Amino acid sequence: MTTDADFRTGYIAIIGRPNVGKSTLLNNLLQHKVSITSRKEQTTRFRINGILTDHRTQYIFVDTPGFQKQYTNRLNTAMNRVVSQSLLDVDAILFVIEAMQFNQRDADVLKILPAHIPIILVINKIDHLSDKSQLLPFLSKIDTARFAALIPVSAEKKIQLTQLLETIRAYLPLNQPFFDKDEITDRSERFIAGEFIREKLFRLIGDEIPYSATVVVDQFKLEGSLHKIHATILVEKPNQKAIIIGKKGEKLKQIASEARKDMERLFGEKVYLEVWVKVKSGWADDEAALRNLGYE
């Protein structure tokens, strides 16, 4: 990969309360799906680095769980810790809020952001505004002096993302690239396979169950051009297992089928996927279990 003296490389944390569109923003900046999304809060549980490289810049975006204080079990404590630790070694921060929505939960996130790192305020979902002139009165209620720049965007509609990248670039240090130009994430295909299954739980199962479930990839083998994947969905109660399996196993088949299609799109190869459901009571509040599952 050829570079020049003005090449910039840096880490950019994407921070915000749950459900402001952080993962959608990452995926559409990369033009690849590496971070799972749903309309439910706290779909993202892990730190995921997404890498975008052009002829002048390598952007290493750090997607994080939504920071929140509502729930205090060990799982949520671990996710908040991921957010705080992700701020320790970045060159810039994207603080993502929703247009016309700034409340105590946003203020709680702002309090944990370090003062010495440039913060770009990203006002997302501007496509939902019928009158764009509403933005100025809205922003006047926020202490905008704290921010190095303010960029209104629509992550979903890909509005002003090029402008956002140009703004970020100014705050990245002169550096040669850390990753090969074709890499889009530092996470393994095995990890992403588990996340794609977990996303389908958030999208296809009722409001509460996805928060009581996690996914373990038991086997991930490449045989020629075929990915053979065996995975287990862990839940806390027997009735949750029954709901995920569904009548005659139809719901579980739908979860596996949709996850497999996402994997094939990203991997560019065929996937054979088998998914089971098991009960593991109390896993979300068990420190040893969380560590074994990769949350600590």
- Domain total of the chain: 2
Give the Cα separation of 130 and 141 in Å (integer): 20
Structural domain for 204, as ranges = 189-292
Check whether residue 47 and residue 163 sit in a common domain.
Answer: yes
Q: Is residue 2 part of a domain?
A: no
Averaged pLDDT, 9-13: 96
CATH number at residue 42: 3.40.50.300
Check whether residue 41 and residue 119 sit in a common domain.
Answer: yes
CATH number at residue 270: 3.30.300.20
Q: Give the pLDDT of residue 26.
A: 93
Q: Is residue 184 part of a domain?
A: no
The arrangement of strands across the sheet holding 48-53 comes to 48-53, 57-63, 8-15, 92-98, 119-124, 149-152
Q: Is residue 179 part of a domain?
A: no
Check whether residue 49 and residue 105 sit in a common domain.
Answer: yes
Cβ partners under 8 Å of residue 40, min gap 6: 19, 202, 207, 210
Selection from 132, 94, 97, 99 nearest residue 10 by Cα: 94
Check whether residue 233 and residue 163 sit in a common domain.
Answer: no
Q: At what angle do helices 22-30 and 161-169 cross, to 10 degrees?
A: 90
Check whether residue 154 and residue 120 sit in a common domain.
Answer: yes
Length of the chain counted residue by residue: 296
User: Six-digit token pair at 140?
Assistant: 């006047």
Lowest mean pLDDT among 26-40, 75-89, 111-125: 75-89
Give the Cα separation of 19 and 30 in Å (integer): 19
Q: Which residue has the tokens 């549980």?
A: 45
Q: Is residue 63 part of a domain?
A: yes
Check whether residue 161 and residue 226 sit in a common domain.
Answer: no
Report the mean per-residue pLDDT for the chain: 89
**91 within 8 A of 12, measured Cβ to Cβ:** yes
pLDDT at 43 over 90: no
Check whether residue 48 and residue 140 sit in a common domain.
Answer: yes
Give the Cα separation of 92 and 13 in Å (integer): 7
Q: Is residue 175 part of a domain?
A: no
The band of 68, judged by pLDDT with boundaries at 50, 70 and 90, is low
**22 within 8 A of 46, measured Cβ to Cβ:** no
The band of 228, judged by pLDDT with boundaries at 50, 70 and 90, is very high
pLDDT digit string, tens, across residues 119-177: 999 999 999 998 888 898 999 888 889 999 999 999 999 999 999 999 999 999 999 99
